[in-house]
Amino acid sequence: MTRDVEALLAETLERHAEEVRPHPDPLPDLERRLRARSWRRTVITAAAAAGAVAATATGVLLATSPTPSSPTPSPGTGGGLVPAESDRSADGVRVTISTHCGVRSAWVDGELWLASPPLGGHNPPPGWDENETVGFFVITAPERAEFHGDGRQKALFRLAEPGTPDPNAGCE
């Protein structure tokens, strides 16, 4: 007997997809995961900053740096990315830049900034940390900013137009 296996398979997938019984409210579990992840990233940021401060006292930015983020997640905030891992000072905002797929973008206070130029192709640039680099993000002109890493790394950024996709979004 000959059958159209492709059509049968499409029907099979449709039928079995209907078997799912979703949790009536997926948000509490998602909130919990976001808080857990925010906690982990904050600890990483704080540890990296503390290590950098102990290792050097030469950088102007570091000399005036604020106390690293508290490793205690703040209940009720939902573990939002920026508030949990950034501290403000006169020198800018403390941020963690993803470097795993190169230095391509940064999210600061909910706004996307694009590295101009991007650094490192699709790999961490020489001298940058393997996955993330911690430092200060400083606005230097309208829609222009500089990132100064704790290890003296530097990158230039420009503010992305609204709706611009994050070039780093697919980085795993």
Partner 1 sequence: MDARFAEFVQARHKDLLRRAYLLTGGDHAAAEDLVQEALVRGYRAGLRSHIDHLEPYILRTMANLSTSRWRRASSRLEVLTDNVPETQREDTAAGGKDHDVLWDVLRDLPRQQRAVLVLRFYEALGEREIAHVLGVSVGTVRSHSARALSRMRATLAMHDEVGDPR
- The site for partner 1 (CB under 8 A) is made up of 1, 3, 5-6, 8-23, 26-27, 29-34, 36-37, 78-81, 107, 110, 112, 163, 165-166, 168-170, 172
Q: Work out how close the CB of 27 gets to partner 1 at its nearest, in angstroms, rounded to a whole number.
A: 6
Query: Toward partner 1, which CB reaches closer, 63 or 82?
Result: 82
3-class SS at 137?
strand
What is the DSSP code string of 70-99?
PSS--TTTTT-HHHHH--EETTEEEEEEE-
Q: Are 120 and 102 in contact (CB under 8 A)?
A: yes
CB 104 within 8 Å of CB 61 = no
Closest listed residue to residue 157, CA positions, set 167, 165, 149, 145: 145
Q: Whole-number minimum distance, CB 125 to partner 1, in Å?
A: 20
In the complex with partner 1, the residue whose CB is nearer, 31 or 91, is 31
The conformational region for residue 152 under phi > 0 = left, psi -120 to 50 = alpha, else beta, is left
Q: Nearer Cβ to partner 1, position 81 or 119?
A: 81
Cβ closer to partner 1: 65 or 86? 86
What are the phi and psi torsion angles at 35 (to 5°)? Answer: -65, -40
Shortest spacing between CB 139 and partner 1, in angstroms: 18
In the complex, minimum distance from the CB of residue 90 to partner 1, in angstroms, rounded to a whole number = 26
Q: Which is nearer to partner 1, 16 or 58 (CB)?
A: 16
User: Shortest approach of partner 1 to residue 42 CB, angstroms?
Assistant: 13
